[in-house]
Structure 1
Amino acid sequence: MPGSRETRIDLVRGISLLFIFVDHSDVSFSTLLQQSRGFCDAAELFVMMAGMSAALAYAPPGGRANLGRVGSRTWRRAFKLYRVHLVLLAAMLAAVAMLPLPWSQELRSAWALDPVFAAPWRYALEAVSLRYMPADLDILPLYVLLIAAVPLFLGIAQRSAMLALGLSLGLWLAAGLLHLNLTNLAEARSGWFFNPFSWQLIFLCGLLAGLRIKRGEEPFPYSRPVFVAAALFALVAIPANLYMQLEVSADSPVRHLLMSKTSEGPLRVLNALAIAYVVFNLDALKRVFAWSWLGPVHAAGRNSLPIFVTGIVLSNTAAAVVICHGSFPLALELTAIAIGLAIQLAVAHHLGRTRREPSGEPVSSLVVASPEDQDYGYAQATEPAAIPDAARNSAT
């Protein structure tokens, strides 16, 4: 109905958050699970859903967006994410510093923390300037830049969606071929693991799909040949990726060119688009989205920022135990993962129950849009002509 949420985005985003937690926990099956989903993984889908949500939160359904107003909102949100990132980094450093010396030393080495303990003032400045991001704390900075760039994306897309896509493809190609990247002193290659010049393409694809929803259209128009090709690609990508990961040398230039996560290789881009196309067009999945028992997963998608932070804390805790202790029996690993997932779903359920308007509609707290930003997007989206079936969505 008009003004209803785009629940498909919420569900995909919620599932992605749960997978990201398992992938980052460094238990014995984390890598296999991550590689068993094809060339791409949860990160691509999460970033794409973030782009879709940004369009729903900040773009008006008709006419031109007030880019100055959009900019003030997106930059304010980006600054909040920046602050959350710095708090997470400070908390992690404090926790490691307080651990017993053998554990502390192991984690300092494994997570590239030695420099910050050796030269704290210098690396404090590097952290503030986003040039030092250790221990899986390199995801929020990507969102900081992407969300801050939303006015630019919208401004170009308002002129021409094809122009926006063409410029995005050109930047993605240049970043991959010329190795354009920003500096991260915690990485062995001194670059951002999620290269923003490359990952902006996935975000932009999601934003363009979100603009279609804003106009009352399907995000990925159905075509039977395209659907069959996308489904086959997504299915074949699973064994093909496992073969590439297990049998092909990691130093292979072909593998790096096609599948680099940092440069968002073409196979990863195509795989992410194929999965999104199938998810948003498969009738059976449309019925699944409405299952009531998936409510906590939907709530996780609606409350992405607190759930993401919860997942990062839990996954880094699990990874720290694995680094310092070594491997555990599979049954214990499965139990720990189940507990971590349950904690995240419980937090999401609690937030879904407590963050409601008098009407009963949930007030989301997501990675892209703050409540006042969502009100801007929602107010535009509730016009009957704007979005017939789905789009009262905020942004990740």
Structure 2
Amino acid sequence: MEPPQPPPAALARKNPRDHRVDALRGIALLMMLVDHVPDDLLNRITIRNFGFADAAEIFVMLAGYASYLAYGRLIDRQGWKTGIHRIFGRCVRLYLYQTGMTLVFVWTVRQWRHYQPLPEYTIEPQLAHGYSGLWRILTFDALPSYLNILPLYVVLLALFPLIYWVLKRSVWLLLALSIGIWAIANLDPRITIPNWLDPNGWYLNPFGWQFLYILGILGAVWASKHNGDLPYRPWAKALCLTYLAGAFVLCFPYEYWHVPFLRIFPAPPNTGKSTLAIWRLLDIMAIFYLVQSSKALRRISADRIGQSLALLGRNSLEVFACSTVLDLLGRLMFASFGINLWDQLVMNVVGLGLTYALAIPLDRARQRAKAARLSSGPARPVPAPE
């Protein structure tokens, strides 16, 4: 006689969810919300002011981490056909969101200019001229600067089956190939995907940024062997903290805060973002290691504050799309009516409120669906948020 199976709830309690990735992605989404409005005072306190990297690097690395959890495990459980079908569906969804945001951008800019003339340089020039070049944007032949991260994600996610195929054969081969492609892109930035709007090509060069995505995948593989934690090593923590402290000293905006300079030599140029320069790569790797190796942060991510951030990360696509549209409205408002403290306060409170007003019902619907799955029969693995 077979032993009785534990109820689904007991199975769920056996492996408590690690919310650190969701919370970190939620922080990245909030930083992108304010970073994409250049005159927003809050973007003076985001990560890009205190180190080499910014929220985009966090977003892409966590995309790789989540891709392994959602699709790598799915391929192992149900085979390549199911995995590729799910990946294709996700890519289509990402593309539809990108298309929707593009159409909203073009329509909003055209309507705004009917009532409030704007100098072309204050907004996306390619959006100021209407629908004539829209086909280029929809085919990724032209990428507006504030609409360039989802196309990068589509390309990287579409390559995931190939990446995972190589990974299953040799981790070291995958790492060597990725490093080689990244190094070539940094040595010759002309190696990129053409962009009709920019002679330098895609601003987030996939040949460089694929390395960060693959590091996220490898981080998930490594962490999965240690109950979701990256192995804690005191010397690694000290090295990461030392690097981040040095980046802070070099990048801190002393001029803005009117404090004495502590730099002993100039910071590396900010131009390294397009190809993911080594100083930016090391910065985000250090942050990721400190977060994913910290048991204290694992506990904090499960409490009230951590969960308020994690619910954004669990619904990242919808939150990102909403935030991107709100950013456009913020730029238009500041360009049309000027900048003052009251407008800043209203824009940030309303933006934050709308972001959570979207995320909360989405998260409740997700939890109801999960509860329905658990109550309907034996517990099945639940895909990680993508």
Shorter chain as normaliser: what TM range?
Answer: 0.7 to 0.9
Alignment of 1:39 with 2:49, yes or no, is: no
- Give the 3 Å change call, closer, same or farther, for CA 279–103 of structure 1 in structure 2: same
Give 3-state SS (helix, strand or coil) of 1:357's partner.
helix
- Give the 3 Å change call, closer, same or farther, for CA 219–61 of structure 1 in structure 2: farther
Matched length: 360
Correspondence 1:261-276 to 2 at 5 A: 261-276=273-288
2:150 to 140, 153, 164: 140
Alignment of 1:356 with 2:367, yes or no, is: yes
The Cα of 1:147 is off from its aligned counterpart by 0.9
Instruction: Provide the C-alpha distance between the structure 2 equivalents of 1:89 and 1:270, rounded to a whole number of angstroms.
Output: 33
Amino acid at match of 2:69: L
Cα pair 2:29 2:55 within 8 Å, conserved: yes
The Cα of 1:164 is off from its aligned counterpart by 1.0
The Cα of 1:101 is off from its aligned counterpart by 3.7
Matched residue, 1:170:
180
Instruction: Provide the C-alpha distance between the structure 1 equivalents of 2:333 and 2:369, rounded to a whole number of angstroms.
Output: 43
The Cα of 1:142 is off from its aligned counterpart by 0.8
Alignment of 1:324 with 2:314, yes or no, is: no
The Cα of 1:107 is off from its aligned counterpart by 4.9
TM-score relative to the length of structure 1: 0.82
Cα pair 1:25 1:318 within 8 Å, conserved: yes
Q: Whose radius of gyration is greater, 1 or 2?
A: 2
Instruction: Provide the C-alpha distance between the structure 1 equivalents of 2:171 and 2:183, rounded to a whole number of angstroms.
Output: 18
Alignment of 1:152 with 2:178, yes or no, is: no
The Cα of 1:348 is off from its aligned counterpart by 1.2
Instruction: Provide the C-alpha distance between the structure 2 equivalents of 1:43 and 1:357, rounded to a whole number of angstroms.
Output: 31
Structure 2: segments with no counterpart, 5+ residues: 1-12
Cα pair 1:58 1:70 within 8 Å, conserved: yes
The worse-fitting range, judged by mean Cα deviation, of 31-40 and 80-89 is 31-40
Matched residue, 2:208:
198
Matched residue, 1:287:
299
The worse-fitting range, judged by mean Cα deviation, of 174-183 and 32-41 is 32-41
Instruction: Provide the C-alpha distance between the structure 1 equivalents of 2:357 and 2:35, rounded to a whole number of angstroms.
Output: 20
The alignment yields a C-alpha RMSD, in angstroms, of 2.9
Matched residue, 1:227:
237
Amino acid at match of 1:273: M
Instruction: Provide the C-alpha distance between the structure 2 equivalents of 1:358 and 1:61, rounded to a whole number of angstroms.
Output: 19
The worse-fitting range, judged by mean Cα deviation, of 161-170 and 216-225 is 216-225
Structure 1: segments with no counterpart, 5+ residues: 364-377, 383-391
Higher-RCO chain (CA-CA 8 Å, sequence separation at least 6): 1
- Give the 3 Å change call, closer, same or farther, for CA 282–294 of structure 1 in structure 2: closer
Alignment of 1:336 with 2:326, yes or no, is: no
Cα pair 1:17 1:42 within 8 Å, conserved: yes
- Give the 3 Å change call, closer, same or farther, for CA 222–245 of structure 1 in structure 2: farther
The Cα of 1:309 is off from its aligned counterpart by 0.8
Matched residue, 1:389:
none
Amino acid at match of 2:71: Y
Cα pair 1:50 1:395 within 8 Å, conserved: no
Cα pair 1:10 1:298 within 8 Å, conserved: yes
Instruction: Provide the C-alpha distance between the structure 2 equivalents of 1:222 and 1:393, rounded to a whole number of angstroms.
Output: 26
The Cα of 1:312 is off from its aligned counterpart by 0.5
- Give the 3 Å change call, closer, same or farther, for CA 222–318 of structure 1 in structure 2: same
Alignment of 1:185 with 2:196, yes or no, is: yes
- Give the 3 Å change call, closer, same or farther, for CA 67–362 of structure 1 in structure 2: closer
Matched residue, 1:394:
384
The worse-fitting range, judged by mean Cα deviation, of 212-221 and 314-323 is 212-221
Give 3-state SS (helix, strand or coil) of 1:221's partner.
coil
Amino acid at match of 1:154: Y
Cα pair 2:105 2:127 within 8 Å, conserved: no
2:79 to 66, 70, 78: 66
Amino acid at match of 2:331: A
The Cα of 1:165 is off from its aligned counterpart by 1.2
Instruction: Provide the C-alpha distance between the structure 2 equivalents of 1:301 and 1:362, rounded to a whole number of angstroms.
Output: 22
Matched residue, 2:324:
312
Cα pair 1:146 1:196 within 8 Å, conserved: yes
Matched residue, 2:9:
none
TM-score relative to the length of structure 2: 0.84
The Cα of 1:51 is off from its aligned counterpart by 0.8
Instruction: Work out the percentage of aligned pairs sharing the same amino acid.
Output: 26
Matched residue, 2:102:
89
